Structure 1
Amino acid sequence: MAAPDLHALANPLRFQRFATALTPWLLVLGLAFMTVGIWRGLFFAPPDYLQGETVRILYIHVPSAWFAMGGYLGMALAALAAMVWKHPLAALSVRAIAPVGALFAAICLITGSIWGRPTWGTWWVWDGRLTSMLVLFLLYLGVIALIHSHDDKARGLKMAGYLAIVGTLNLPIIKFSVEKWNTLHQPASIRLSGSSIHPDMLQPLLLSALGFLLLFAGLVLVRMRTLIAEQRLEMRAMRRAARAG
């Protein structure tokens, strides 16, 4: 299958056809990889020598954190493309990514809280990593609120885009919070230089992460298809109103 022409995909109708064909594959493969990864992590991976069985929630917690952050960066880049290059689908991408990213950030916070209760003896601590992840979740909610806060959709999207871009300042804070500040949260176990995780634990984690990534992409495409369809219906309604007037 030939790679899609990105300039051709700038046309909403062409993109709709491409997304319609790709979405089921992303969702099915995403669910499959996520299920296998979590299943192996829950029932076959060894317990951690310090955290014991509680480490198993990380097969959900860690991928959701990764792609909550990655999704925010993607949303900010889409907002920049909408402002600078006026890409016809960039603004729709901001609207599509925001609720999916908020969902992943919420999963990260909830699972982190569940993990923290037996590990730290409390559901929540206001340390750098947890607080900055909460800020990320609130930034997502802020973008969603701004999108829907104005009768003028273009103005609302523009303001949401500014918040998305400015909010990227929080991403390096999340990344380096466990390295630069005193924190209860453990430092990163996976780096570009390698991993300190045992292979029997690392493999299911990577499978789960791949599943989360494909699911994120599939859900964003579902949202974009919906938004394009809504946009077409609005344009038809406007044309009918113009003819009637």
Structure 2
Amino acid sequence: MWTIIHKMGSPPWFFRFAGTLIRWLLPAVVLLLVVGAVWGLLYAPPDYKQGNSYRIIFIHVPAAVVALAGYYVMAIAGAMSLIWKIKMADTAMRAVAPVGAALTFVALVTGAIWGKPTWGTWWVWDARITSMLILLFLYLGVLALFEAYENKAVAAKACAVLSLVGTVNIPIIYKSVDWWYSLHQPASIKFTGQSAIDASMLYPLLLMILAFYSLFAVAVLLNMRADLLQQHRNSAWLKEQLLEGN
């Protein structure tokens, strides 16, 4: 475990590793997105109540699920930065924040589009939507803190603290439909019991969630490599790796 952490904390090793992983992941991302989107948007049957308007679920749910998971990734990186002072953890936090913010924004926008035909309104201040909006502000807050301090070590520490404090919001998002009255329906996908969604809709939805996880990984790795290029642009190891095509 410590060997892995030590390697991940090495910019030269990580830069090479990320480049290799991206080359493997990119074709998988494209394939998963195309197959999942075509399956869900064209071949899954219409819902017996919502008709075809429910199909936005194949974008809305994956974006929301990965946005929540991404925050945990950012918080774990923040904890590693505070505890072990690993600079690559700071780079990871900075890389995750814009991707997580974009996914949260997509989840909010697609939710509003879905809400209009379903609820008759674009927006309601129910617990799920409000806590998702807070998640967006948390991601943006981390981005703002990184830019607010000239001393990047101080900025990273402030971002790590905010990331860890913000994890309180994640279980609230998950359980909001159970704890308070909400227009949102309870979770349709269940890992301990039968899912409330038919298999003909569930399988393309799971495929799209996997596609969004893969897309998230690629975007974060690209952000981290771009950050390393900026930080170490004059380093001999970076010039050597770029000449090798890494």
Deviation string, structure 1 residues 58-103 (Cα, Å, up to 9, x no partner): 0000000001000001100100000001123111100000000001
Give the AA of the match of 1:136: L
Give the partner amino acid of 1:168: T
- Mark the runs of 5 or more structure 2 residues left unpaired by the alignment: 237-246
Quote the Cα distance in structure 2 between the aligned partners of 1:223 and 1:33: 21
5 Å-filtered alignment, 1:226-237, equals 226-233=226-233
Q: Give how far 1:5 is off.
A: 4.3
Q: Tell me, yes or no, if structure 1 residue 41 matches structure 2 residue 28.
A: no
Report the equivalent of 2:241. Answer: none
AA partner of residue 33 (structure 2): M
The answer to whether structure 1 residue 215 and structure 2 residue 215 are counterparts is yes
How far, CA to CA, are the matches of 2:233 and 2:82 in structure 1? Answer: 25
Q: Secondary structure at the match of 1:185?
A: coil
Shift in Å, 1:31: 2.2
Determine the structure 1 residue equivalent to 2:29. 30
1:183 counterpart SS class = coil
Question: Is 1:114 aligned to 2:75, yes or no?
Answer: no
Partner Cα separation in structure 1 for residue 144 and residue 235 of structure 2: 24
Per-residue Cα deviation, 1:128-153 (whole angstroms, up to 9, x for no partner): 00000010011100010001101111
1:10-89 paired onto structure 2 within 5 Å: 10-89=9-88
SS in 2 for 1:160: helix
8 Å CA contact 1:9–1:15 kept in 2: the answer is: yes
The CA deviation string for residues 13-65 of structure 1, in whole angstroms up to 9 with x for no partner, is 01100111111222221121022111111110011112211110000000000
Q: Tell me what 2:153 maps to.
A: 154
Kept after mapping to 2: 8 A contact 1:35/1:208 = no
Equivalent in the alignment of 1:132 = 131
> Aligned partners of 1:144, 1:28: CA distance in 2, in Å?
29
Change (3 A) 1:106 1:234: farther
Which position in structure 2 is the counterpart of 1:225? 225
SS of the residue corresponding to residue 76 of structure 2 reads helix
CA RMSD of aligned residues (A): 1.5
The residue type equivalent to 2:205 in the other structure is: L
| 1:159-213: CA deviation from partner (whole Å, max 9, x where unpaired) | 1111111000000110000011101011101112131211110111011111100
Residues 57 and 115 in structure 1, CA contact (< 8 A), matched pair in contact too: yes
Q: Which moved more, 1:120-129 or 1:23-32?
A: 23-32
Q: Which range moved further: 64-73 or 41-50?
A: 41-50
- Tell me, what secondary structure is at the counterpart of 2:47? coil
Aligned equivalents of 1:35 and 1:178: distance in 2?
Answer: 31
- For residues 220 and 135 of structure 2, the distance between their equivalents in structure 1, rounded to whole angstroms, comes to 18
Q: What is the distance in 2 between the residues matched to 1:230 and 1:138?
A: 26
Q: Unaligned regions of 5+ residues in structure 1, if any?
A: 237-245
The AA in structure 2 aligned to 1:192 is: F
Shift of residue 234 of structure 1? 6.9
1:202 alignment partner in structure 2: 202
Q: Which stretch of structure 1 is more off in the superposition, 7-16 or 167-176? A: 7-16
Count of residues in correspondence between the two structures: 233
Range moving further from structure 2, 209-218 or 22-31 = 22-31
Which one-letter code corresponds to 2:7 in the other structure?
Answer: A
Name the structure 2 match of 1:92: 91
SS for the counterpart of 2:232 is helix
Give TM-score, length-normalised by structure 1.
Answer: 0.92
Q: Distance in 2 between matches of 1:43 and 1:55?
A: 12
Three-state SS of the structure 2 residue aligned to 1:148 is helix
Q: Which amino acid is 1:151 matched to?
A: E
TM-score normalised according to structure 2 size: 0.91
